[in-house]
Amino acid sequence: MSIVTIRKPRTPEPRALVSRDCGEGVCEVDWLASRRHESDLDVTAFGELAMAKGWGDGLPLVPPTDARVQAFLQANDRHPDEVICELPPMRAECTVEKIAINAVMAGAAPQALELIIAALLSVAAPDFELYGVNTTTAPVFPAFVVNGPVRDRLGVPYGYGCFGGAAASAVAIGRAIRLIMRNVAGQVAGETSQTTFGSPGRVAGILVGEWEERSPWAPLAERRIGVKGDAVTSFGAMGTMNILDTTSQRPDHFLEMIGKSLAYPGNNCFSPAMPYGEVMVALNPICAEILGKEMPDIAEVQERLWRYASLPADWLQALHREQLEAQGRVRDDGRIYLTPEPKDIILFVAGGLGGLHATALHTFGSSLSQTQPLAQATATATAG
């Protein structure tokens, strides 16, 4: 057998929207097809109804009344019956209306719709393998890295506490996506999802920006698919793993510490079920600056990290080693590398300026990261 490599990500077709310019009132075409349920509109009472019906995640929810959903749609340039994608395991159609209802429930701002849609399109791409992500025993969930001015328009954090803890509207956006996974994709723990432990990331997700202005390299979306501006990259994340380094001084020393830390034996990149995988690493701005001075080409950073992110095959138990050998993963140097190629270590810059930590997100199996540009309204037209 030979090493199974991962192809470079494809660039999705850009989508231009026509502004509907609905004015003060509701767009005439904004009919809503969803079933109505009578409910006490008090947040606590609605929360009880939502939990009883299986719609909720345990946190308070905003009641999705016609008025709130219409207002959400009115601020955007999509019709409610537009089918965005099908989401497994339910395979039900995810319409703009369902996205809007769940976004309202999560408390997301209407201005977040195009980011949510781009995020959903990215995970609905076949190579993301959402079917496996949503059904597995693993704790995996889609994490999203946002590029472009939309970061600041929507308050997507990329500095201190960006992976969680920063007070940011991104929490509601991430939660909206999670509610869509529950209510449209049909991902329910213990029923359609066999996740053994789950993850905090299955409540509000991870929606983090890249601190492009502090990165010595081009933005992630531009490096991946050549898109400059607003875009989102999805990654099937098993959680976050902190890597502390208070000792290194030279760039290569940092990379050795990060690379060796990435290659822990129980991570899914070494799963016998999947002969390939990716890993995502957030480098803090201070570390990125140090690395960038010596390595202005990020491919060199990836190459060095990749060489450190490996294990000697004979260090593993025989049963584990034999399965990896059967996949052709033991190379001529007797080592098993975390990913097929250096490019499969996906890097971006984010985080506070403390400078002592990196954050790694390990993949789930054959789920491959996807990058999707956000659609933009390009002209003004009157809805009819």
Partner 1 sequence: MTVGLVLDPTSTRDDDNPSPGPDAGPLAGKRIGIRRDNIWRAWDWISELWAAKFRAAGAEVSFWRCFGRSGEEGERMERELAAWLATLDVAVVGLANCGSCTGWTIRDAITAANAGLPTTAVATKNFEAFAHTIARRGGRSGLRVHVLPYPLNEQEREVVDAVGESHFAGLLEVMGASLAAAERAA
**Is residue 11 a contact point for partner 1 (CB under 8 A)?**
no
Q: Nearest-5° angle of CA 114, CA 116, CA 120?
A: 115
**Is residue 89 a contact point for partner 1 (CB under 8 A)?**
yes
**Is residue 316 a contact point for partner 1 (CB under 8 A)?**
no
Applying CB under 8 A, among 15, 17, 18, 34 the residue interacting with partner 1 is 34
Applying CB under 8 A, among 205, 251, 275, 351 the residue interacting with partner 1 is 275
Nearest to 295 by CA among 225, 236, 351, 217: 217
Size of interface with partner 1, in residues (CB under 8 A) = 69
Q: Residue 121 or residue 179: which is nearer to partner 1 going by CB?
A: 179
**Is residue 138 a contact point for partner 1 (CB under 8 A)?**
yes
Q: Report the nearest approach of partner 1 to the CB of residue 137 (Å).
A: 4
| Measured distance CA(253)–CA(172) in Å, rounded | 38
**Is residue 96 a contact point for partner 1 (CB under 8 A)?**
no
Evaluate whether 306 touches 345 at the Cβ level (below 8 Å). yes
DSSP-assigned letters across all residues of 251-282: HHHHHHHHHHHH--TTSGGG-TT-S---EEEE
**Is residue 25 a contact point for partner 1 (CB under 8 A)?**
no
Applying CB under 8 A, among 233, 367, 371, 372 the residue interacting with partner 1 is 367
**If you ran DSSP here, which 8-state letter would residue 208 be given?**
E
What is the four-CA torsion angle of 176, 182, 187, 192, rounded to 10 degrees? 170
**Is residue 365 a contact point for partner 1 (CB under 8 A)?**
yes
Helix 96-106 and helix 113-124, axial crossing angle in degrees, nearest 10: 120
Evaluate whether 89 touches 186 at the Cβ level (below 8 Å). yes
**Is residue 135 a contact point for partner 1 (CB under 8 A)?**
yes
| Measured distance CA(347)–CA(342) in Å, rounded | 11
Applying CB under 8 A, among 22, 128, 150, 362 the residue interacting with partner 1 is 128
Applying CB under 8 A, among 147, 169, 327, 371 the residue interacting with partner 1 is 327
Applying CB under 8 A, among 19, 65, 199, 248 the residue interacting with partner 1 is 65
Burial of 381 (0-12, 13-18, 19+ CB in 10 A): exposed
Q: Residue 49 or residue 377: which is nearer to partner 1 going by CB?
A: 49
Evaluate whether 28 touches 92 at the Cβ level (below 8 Å). no
**Is residue 187 a contact point for partner 1 (CB under 8 A)?**
no
| Measured distance CA(99)–CA(101) in Å, rounded | 6
**Is residue 274 a contact point for partner 1 (CB under 8 A)?**
yes
Tokens of 317: 């138990």
Q: Please, which of residues 188-217 interact with partner 1 by CB under 8 A?
A: 191-195
Run of H or E residues at 299: helix 298-308
**Is residue 131 a contact point for partner 1 (CB under 8 A)?**
yes
**Is residue 376 a contact point for partner 1 (CB under 8 A)?**
no
**Contact residues: partner 1, CB under 8 A:** 4-7, 32, 34-42, 45-46, 49, 54-55, 63-66, 69, 88-95, 97-98, 101-102, 105, 126-129, 131-133, 135-138, 179, 183-184, 186, 191-195, 271-276, 323, 327, 365-368
